[in-house]
Structures are given as structure tokens and as C-alpha cells.
Structure 1
Amino acid sequence: MRSRRRRARLARDSRAVIQVVGAMVWLAAHPAHAALKEAPLAMRCAELAGAVLQPELIALPTAGVQIESAAMVSATAPGNQQGGEYCRITGRIKGFNATTPDIRFDLNLPRRWNGRALQIGGGGYNGVVVSGTGVMPFSPNRAPLAQGYATFGDDSGHVGDSSVAVFGLVDEAVTNFGFAHLKKTHDAALALIARAYGRPPQRMYFAGGSTGGREGYTVMQRYPDDYDGVIANSPALNFTGVRLLGVKLGQAEYGTPGGFISPMLLEHVYQRTLATCDRLDGAADGIVSDVAACREHEAEIIESLRCGGRTPSHDECLTDTQLSTLLVMRDGLSLPYRLAWDVDGYRGYNIFQGTHLTGLLGLAHQPERLQVPTFFANGYLFAQGDGYIRYFVARDAGFDSLRLDPQHPGKYRAQLVALSQTIGAMNPDLTRYIARGGKLITLQGLADEVISPNQTIAYYDKLVDRFGIDQVNSFMRLYMVPGFQHGSGVFIPSVDLLGALDNWVTRGASPETLTATDIAAATNGRSRPLCRYPLFPRYIGKGNVNLAGSFVCAEP
């Protein structure tokens, strides 16, 4: 144990030396600015405006960094909810190739710095700069910037909303999106932090969800020496797998006559699962908490939904074809070939265990497929999968994704495998990160309709198989939340994961059962224990059903 801590300390010290040397090299090249180390932050901030960072400061190939703006934001400035003054820096990391879009980034340096830095991930296909000034999703505390963290984020190297996949036509932009933007922005931010404060951060953290969750696992796998702790929620680890499943789901909905399921019928499915499974955890609270017990009732739920000999009704029963559409999502995808890291498919969803499929990120809302599918009209998974196949795989904007057989992709197979290596984060080898003492917290909903909770659990199981449960427990916490979907749901947990991570990294206080407060509009304020996987909250049979103290974390 002592030797492992010593190795971790040496690694951090080595990283610090490299960062400080980078700052010293810059100061040596700018002797008029050598006094900045002792100058107030406002002066050092102003001096960074218009600065250029040379490519040598970035570990991956770039054409350098251009700082576009650097100015202090006063504590009383309109819109500043951070509770203090900070230096806001915006910049661009130039593509190695002139035709590659820049990586735009924001960096915020608080006047009262706590010596820590936090890189924040994006979502979907990114395309919008992560400002780093707000409260972390589902966190009840003040924004990290207000707590004294230096915060930064970027757009992953292209411009557009999170649904736009057109940048998939540009090779370097795809590499940036997959992993390179994380390292490039990290290195640029650390050089600027060292220049502004005269020293590098004592701790470097990463936090993100969905695509940002994938990015969290990516930095542990690819750049383990750069981070001390990671929060990676609802992680899109198997990015290619989930996109292929989205296409298969679209084929069931739109490529098969009668495969579309109306929102009214989907609501009927959801209500039937609640009627069967809500009370299995001891409480009638609108949450399916005991997913394992609910799964034992799955066959009877499906049969109760089947029209059978009855005349199909628009709101009472499902045809066999419609049930087959749901089974595509439940069963996931099995591939006769291997993606990167020996991945052979994508795990299915908890369709009949309390997952609601009528929201913006659920299944299709209209029976006609648009030429360019949208989230609401044609379903999130299919719309995202369609864009992936068009721009990343076929690299043809006019390609019809329904023509691609995910299980037998023919000439596109090599591209799919290559993309799964570039964008995916399924590598279970976290040896270096663990050896350095890095920590990881992952939170995800058991009712997630975008990223399958069973895929996240499968990756966790791979870690246990590789390292053993004791070693996994030494660096990882997995919290699977009943009723929580992909940012919505009947239970939306609010909990201070950054505080838990920081206490674990700096004080050795490993998080166990946490308490989450519900921020869903209809049930705002109730609380539940946030149980470590595979435990779930079970009602003890007495006490206020809206209080966490009335529940225990139980074995499934």
C-alpha cells in the first residue's frame, strides 16, 4: 500500500514538474512578464488576452492555441451567480490540418482558488462550448467555480447542436470528438492555469454525463496520469453499439409494416409495468426499485399486453409486430463480429421494468419517418443512429440508414470497427489509473432510455472479472438509481458527487450509501438512499415513505 501511494505521489509530482516547466519556459520567453507570478490575478488575467501557446505545450498534434479573450468577471457582474470574482478565458486550439475546425474552449480561474481544477464533459455529439460556470447537473451545492475550482470545457472540435453529426465527414474532427479534444484542452488549460497562478493544480478532476460520461472513462483509459478523480455518469461507453442498436430499432419501427407504437400504447406499457412491479420494493411510490424481482414478472407483463385473439386497439394492446419492436430494445444487439476491445454487441434496456418511452428521448411520436429523422418525431436512438451511419460510417449524407444491416454491414464493417476504437470507451484496462490511486464515481438510472443501464453494468462486471471485487471497490463506486432516466424520470437524484469524490481523493473517505434528494417536479424534496450496486432501496415497512431513513439498501 505504501509503495503504491509513493508511486502515485511520484507520478503527480512528475506531472507537476512538467506543467511548471511549461509555464517557466513561457515566462522566460517573456521576461517583461516574469513579475506576473507575484501580480494580482486581474493583472495576470489581462496579460493572457491575445496570448499564443506553442504546439509543443500540447501532447497531441495541433497548430497551437490562440487566446481570444481574458478578462475578470466581477462578483457583482450581471449573470455572475458564482459568489466571487474570476478570470474568464476563451480560446481556440487550432487543428493540425488547416481544414479541421478549431476546438473552442472556456477556462474560468477563480480569485479564491482551492488549488483544484475540474474539466467538464459535453453531451450528445457536443458542438457547443461547455462554459464551466454553472452548477453541475443534479448537484445541490454551489457551482464548482463558486467553490474555488478552476473549471474548463470545450466543444470537442466542431460547431453545432448535440444532434448534428455532419462533422463525421472530417477525419481529424472525428478523432477530436472521440478522444483528442480531451487531451488537447486539458494541456492548454493546465498551461494557462500554471501561468495565471504560478503553479499547477494539486488535483485534477473530470466530470460529465452521457457523452461526457464516455469522455470520463476515455481519460482514465487513455490519459491515466492526468487525472486524480472522475465522475462519469450514464456513460455512452459503447458508442458504436448504441448507434447500431438505434438503427435496428428504426428498422423495426419504420422498416417493418405495423412496427410503430403510438405514445398512447407506450404509456399503457409503462403503466402496466408499474401496476405489476411498483410495490415489489415494499412501497407504492411510483418507482420500480427492485428491478430483478420485476424481471421475474416480465413474461406475464408481455402476455397481458399482447392482443392475441383480440382486435388490436390503439390504446389497450399490442400486436406481435409492435411487441417485436419493444423486444429489439429489450434484447439489445448481438453481433457475429467483434468491435474494438472484443465487444460483441450492445446490452438491452429495462423496457418492462419501469422505463418510460414517451418523452423527448424515448421512442418515435409519429408513424412517418422523416427524411432526416428528429428526436421527437422518430425517436432519439434512431435519429442519432441515422446520423452516425450517414456521416461517420457511410460518409454519405444521402445514405439511407435503414439499408444497413448492423449484424452484416458488408463493406462498412471495417469502418464500424475503426470507429469503435476511436470513439468508444470499452477498454477494461484501467491498470495505470488504479495504480496511481485514481478514483471513479458513476451514477446512472435503471430506467435510462438512452444509455442502457445493463451496458454500464456489463462494463463494471468486466472490471470485476479483470481486477477482482476488492480492487474495484478500492477505486470505483457505481450507483444505479431506480426511476431515473436520462436526465428525467419519476426520481431525479440530486447529490453532491463532486464533494464525495474530492473527499475520497484528498482524505481517503470512500463514499458508501449516499442520500439523494428528488428534484422531479411532481415529487420534489423526497429522498432515497443512493445504494451502491447491486443494492437497491427497500422500504422497511414503516415511517414516512418520502424520507430516505425509511429505506434500507437491500440485496436484489
Structure 2
Amino acid sequence: MAFYGALRAFVSVCVTVAAPLRGPAHDRSRLRICSALLLTGGIVSTGTTAAAEPNLAMQCTQLAGLLLSPAIIGLPTAGAQVDTAEMIAATAHNNQDGEYCRITGSIKPVKVGTPDIRFDVNLPRRWNGRALQVGGGGYNGVVVSGTGVMPFSPNRAPLAQGYVTFGDDSGHVGNSALAVFGLVDEAVVNFGYAHLKKTHDAALALIEIAYGRRPDHVYFGGGSTGGREGYTVMQRFPDDYDGVIANSPALNFSGVRLLGVKVGQTEYGTPGGFVPPPLLERVYQRTLEVCDGLDGAADGIVSDVGACRKHEPDVIASLRCPSGEADVANDDCLSDAQLATLDVLREGLSLPWPLAWNVNRYRGYNVFQGTLFTGMLGLAHNDSRGTSPTIVANGYLFSQGDGYVRYFIARDPGFDSLKFDVLHPGRYQKQIVALSQTIGAMNTDLSRYIARGGKLITLQGLADEVISPNQTIAYYEALVDRFGAGKVDAFMRLYMVPGFQHGSGAFIPSTDLLGALDNWVTRDIAPETLTATDIAAATNGRSRPLCRYPAFPRYSGKGNVNRASSFICAEP
């Protein structure tokens, strides 16, 4: 035991006694020397499967208490530390990940009063030489463990496949609509982008200590906020990643939050603007009546969104109350005020001034093309706001937008978002633009990432009720405008999924995007049409092709309608 205590002290000294003036390059060089010294002592593996097996368990617990110098991390911090390190047996209860070393740690802030960035790193006994950083969701605030199966790797946990996995909480505790951390400058920067680089660098230092070398390939995978994080790392840290899965990405973070405020203002600030869930259900069912069969199959999925959009005026007219006023005797129709609320969603947001990267729009949702707004992440369920809007009572878009205005923009917990002039914010405009730069990921300059051979896969539902699918499409089209279709095709795949909402919907796709990404990066096998299995409870097991945008699945007219082989990818 004395030997292992001395070893831990040696490792700690080895990686922490940095000469700060010499910088990160000196520290990385010294880290390699330290790893080599540990290797000669037989404590750190060589990175090969055979050598890793007998050594990882011995060294894992010795990493607890390890300190990492600020110079190892590429952005300003006060260093990092390993808080715990323990081996998790393959036979542990509910373990889907095989045997691995679980490390928890914390990255220290520069300014007093800023929360730590808490992180997890998982080191598999049988390492495949790759690492996967996993993104968060919402306002984060919960450590992403990197364990278990994931939406983009549903058949087998990445850790069980041999990937080192790591994630973090983005630098604050608690994932709520209030987003109180918006009052703390360094915490906002961490949430926006800095936590990604800081955790990446700390994790790779630990990987190098444990295995004696850096990963052959580093990937990023996430959805929603994690999708925004995926685009963020390509834009800001292109040299750190070889492949990214960024699904349903919250690219224009300020845009969607401001639109959420506009939605709340029409629901609660306009007489009669509240649309109760039964009427939202009526809108959804009416769009199915008109559009479900446009793809050749009456299967509860609106696949041909473009053709459906041509019917939009007639759909809206059929839903409107004859007088334009709410009709108590006819609870199947919508008043003009209620249709105006839905029109805010449909139109999106156009600002008379630009956000960062000269962006002045947030594209609207497919309200009348098969998107259901009655679920947990939909519109308001209550017709009164209350003092602190919640997702359940007041809808995801408004509750999140309300918190953003109060804590990030006005930085006043008592601020009334219903009185906030989104189009003419006055003295708050500068703060909004700055936030769109810090948190948003709308920069289309991916030149460095493309030049390095980086790859990108994005999947999103055409019926997404949280992140507008049309905003994601607009960013893709902006990339094509900038680089040309051929260059974009060489590094990116976009799959827009009919019927899929923000994790729910009439069709919930399950497919192995991580395997597709890894094949693309390591074998140069670019993914084309993929097959997805539906995991929605009512239709579990049916399959559809995942078509590359702008194509969509059309029924061929023969064969089992529940099988992907009966569909073709048709151009709109």
C-alpha cells in the first residue's frame, strides 16, 4: 500500500508541478514523459488490449486525488482534480458497459463564486483507441455520465464497445427553466462553450496517463443542447475532434428563447390567445386527415411535408371558427386570437437587427404539417401564467424563454418577460447579441474542420416541437451556399425524420449513428440511406428508411407498409 501511495504522489507531482510561464505545450510534453516513466514501472498500460487488461484495475483507484495543472487545459481555469476513481465490475447491478474505471472530477473556475465544472471519465478495460465526449440537454446542470446505451448508439453502450466516454454538467448544478446561473458571467461562458474544451482537455490528459497515449480518434455526440454543443466544438475547437453527431441542434439559442417569449406573450398577453390542449390535438388530427396519405401510406406520419404545406391555407380555414371568435357550442374550432398564437410558431421570429454572425431570423415550426404541441415539451397546459412559469404548466418554449430573459438578458429575477419588447429591446440589445455569440452556434465557417477531414451527422424530426426543423435546414442550406453542395456532401449528412418530435412522436427512430460515423472516419465509408426502427410504444418495431435531406420516405405501393424495404427515398 505504501508503494501505491507513493505512486499516486508521484503522478500528482508529475502532472501538477508545471512551469506556468512555459505554457500548455511544455506541460503536454512533460505529461508524455511522466506517462512513459509510469509505463516502465508497469502501472500504466500501453494502450493495447493485451497490456491494458492486467494494469487498469491496479492503477484506477490510485488516480483519486490527482491534480491537473491549469496549463494542461487550453482555456483559463484554476486546474482540475480527480475526486473519485473506482473500478466498476462487469457484473455490477444494471451495468451495460462492461468493466471500466469510473472517474469523477471537477475543474476549478478562475473567479471565486463560479461553480466548478463537474465531469465523469470512463476508462474501459478493453479500449478501442477512441474517445467519445457526450453532450447534455436543456440548460445542462447534471453531469453527463457517458454510461449506458445512447440514442445515437442504441444497440450497445459505447463504453461496452471500448470507447472512453466522458461528459460534464457544463459548470453549474440544476437543469431548470429558471437558469439562475445566467447571473454569473464565467458560468455563462462555461455553458456556452468553455466547458466543452475544458472537459475535453482534462479527459485527454487522464486518458494519456491511464493508457500511455492519446486516442486515435475523438468523437462528440449529443442532441438538442448537446447538438448545439456538437456544432460548437466544430466551430470553436476543430482540431480536437474527428467526427460529430449533433442531433436536433439548438443552434440559434437566443433566437429560440426570444421566440418562446413571443409565444408566451400571445398566449397570456393577448385576450383569448391561450390554445387549450384539446384544440392543439384537433389541429394535429386535421393535418393528418389532409396530409397523412400524401406519401402513399396512411400510417399516421406526415412524410411529404412540402406537399402538405401547399394545403396549409385550406387546413387553417377549416379550423377557424366562422365568426372568428371562440365558439362555446363548437369546441372543434379556433378563434382568430388562437390562430394568431399558432401563427407566431409557424412564422418564427424576424428581428430588425442582427444577432451574432449577422443572423436575424429564427425559422418557424411545421405547425400545420404534423407537429403535435400537447406533450410535455409542447405549448402551455394552463391558461394562467403564475409568477414562475414551468414547463409542465406553461410550455417548454415560454418557460425557457422567460428564464432566459430574466436571468441572462435583464439579469433581474423579478423582470416580467410579458412586457419585454423582443423586436425593440433597447438597452438589452447589446446583451442579447453578446449572448448569441457566447451560446449560439450559427457560425457557418467550418473551414478548418472540413480541411482536417472532420465528419458530421445530424438527425432531426420534421415534427420537432422544441427545436424548429426549419432552422436546422436553414443552417445546412447556408453551408451549401458557402462551400458548395459537393464540399458539404463530403463531410456532412443530414437526416430529417418525418413524424419525429423532440424525443417522442408518431415515429421515434432508433439507428446506430455512432457506428455510421466511425465507419466514415476510419474506413471512409460515407453513410447514405440508413434504416431506422420505430420505438414509439404504439408502433414499436416498424421500420422506415432515413433519407438524406431533402429526400423523404415514399411508399412504393407494394409490400408491407411496416417495413423500410417497402419505401423509397423520394425527392420533394
- Unaligned residue ranges in structure 2 (runs of 5+): 1-23, 46-53
1:182-238 deviation digits (Å, cap 9, x = unpaired) = 000000000000000001100000000000000000000000000000000000000
Question: Which of residues 506, 531, 538 is equivalent to 2:554?
Answer: 538
Please give the alpha-carbon distance, in whole angstroms, between the structure 2 residues aligned to 1:528 and 1:78: 34
Partner of 1:426: 442
> 1:48-94: per-residue Cα shift (whole Å, max 9, x none)?
11100010100100001011011111111223222x21000000000
* C-alpha contact 1:169 1:392 (8 A) present in aligned 2: yes
Q: C-alpha distance in 1, partners of 2:83/2:416? A: 41
Matched, 1:179 2:193: yes
Is this contact kept in 2: 1:262–1:365, CA < 8 A?
yes
Q: Bigger shift: 475-484 or 306-315?
A: 306-315
Distance 1:210 1:130 in 2: 14
Within the candidate set 160, 171, 175, 1:161 is matched to 175
Given candidates 59, 65, 71, the residue that maps to 2:74 is 59
Q: Deviations over 1:488-521 (max 9, x none)?
A: 0000000000000000000000000000000000
The answer on 1:279 being equivalent to 2:257 is no
Of 163-172 and 352-361, more deviation after overlay is shown by 163-172
What code does the residue aligned with 2:405 have? I
Structure 1 runs (4+) deviating above 3 angstroms are: 16-20, 25-28, 30-35
The one of 241, 250, 265 aligned to 1:251 = 265
Q: Which residue of 1 aligns with 2:471?
A: 455
Q: Secondary structure at the match of 1:66?
A: strand
Q: What residue number does 1:3 align with? A: none
Tell me, yes or no, if the aligned pair for 2:223 and 2:247 is still in contact at 8 Å. Answer: yes
Q: Distance in 2 between matches of 1:69 and 1:112?
A: 21
Q: Check conservation: 2:153, 2:515, Cα contact below 8 A.
A: no
> What is the alpha-carbon distance in structure 2 between the residues aligned to residue 19 and residue 109 of structure 1?
22
Describe the SS at the equivalent of 2:360.
strand
8 Å contact from structure 2 (residues 552, 571) kept in 1: yes
1:21 corresponds in structure 2 to 29
Question: For 1:158-237, what aligned pairs fall within 5 Å after superposition?
Answer: 158-237=172-251
* 3-state SS of 2:445 partner: coil
Shift of 1:27: 4.6
**TM-score w.r.t. length of structure 2:** 0.92
Q: Which residue of 1 aligns with 2:535?
A: 519
Question: Residues 19 and 194 of structure 1 are in contact (CA less than 8 Å); yes or no, is this contact kept in structure 2?
Answer: no
Instruction: Say which of 386, 396, 399 aligns to 1:380.
Output: 396
How far apart are the structure 2 equivalents of 1:255 and 1:297? Answer: 30
What residue is the counterpart of 1:407 in the other structure? 423
Partner of 2:44: 37
- Could you tell me which residue of structure 1 aligns to residue 516 of structure 2? 500
CA contact (8 A) 1:19 1:190 kept: no
Could you tell me which amino acid in structure 1 is paired with residue 287 of structure 2? T
- What CA deviation, in whole Å up to 9, does each residue of 1:19-41 have, x standing for no partner? 9635325458x879954234701
Distance 1:123 1:412 in 2: 26
Q: Which residue of 2 aligns with 1:5?
A: none
Matched, 1:77 2:92: yes
Q: Closer, same or farther in 2 for the Cα pair 1:97/1:272, shift >3 Å?
A: same
Give percent identity, aligned residues only: 74
Structure 2 residue identity aligned to 1:36: I
**Are positions 1:107 and 2:121 aligned together?**
yes
Q: Distance in 2 between matches of 1:431 and 1:254?
A: 44
Matches of 2:331 and 2:299 in 1, distance apart?
24
Q: 1:323 is matched by which residue type in structure 2?
A: L
Structure 1: gaps spanning 5 or more residues: 1-15
Secondary structure of 1:231's match? Answer: strand
Larger deviation: 34-43 or 446-455? 34-43
Q: Secondary structure at the match of 2:354?
A: strand
Give the structure 2 partner of residue 130 of structure 1. Answer: 144
Aligned counterparts of 2:58 and 2:131: Cα–Cα separation in 1? 21
Q: In structure 2, what is the Cα distance between the partners aligned to 1:134 and 1:262?
A: 38
1:334–1:538 distance in 2 versus 1, CA, 3 Å: same
C-alpha distance in structure 2 between counterparts of 1:419 and 1:477, whole Å: 28
Equivalent positions of 1:291-330 (< 5 A) are 291-309=305-323, 312-313=327-328, 315-330=331-346
Q: Is the 8 A contact 1:528 1:548 kept in 2?
A: yes
User: CA offset at residue 134 of structure 1?
Assistant: 1.3
Q: Deviations over 1:251-291 (max 9, x none)?
A: 00000010000101111000000000000000000000000
The amino acid that maps onto 2:445 is: D
Other structure's SS at 1:391 match: helix
2 CA distance for matches of 1:61 and 1:44?
29
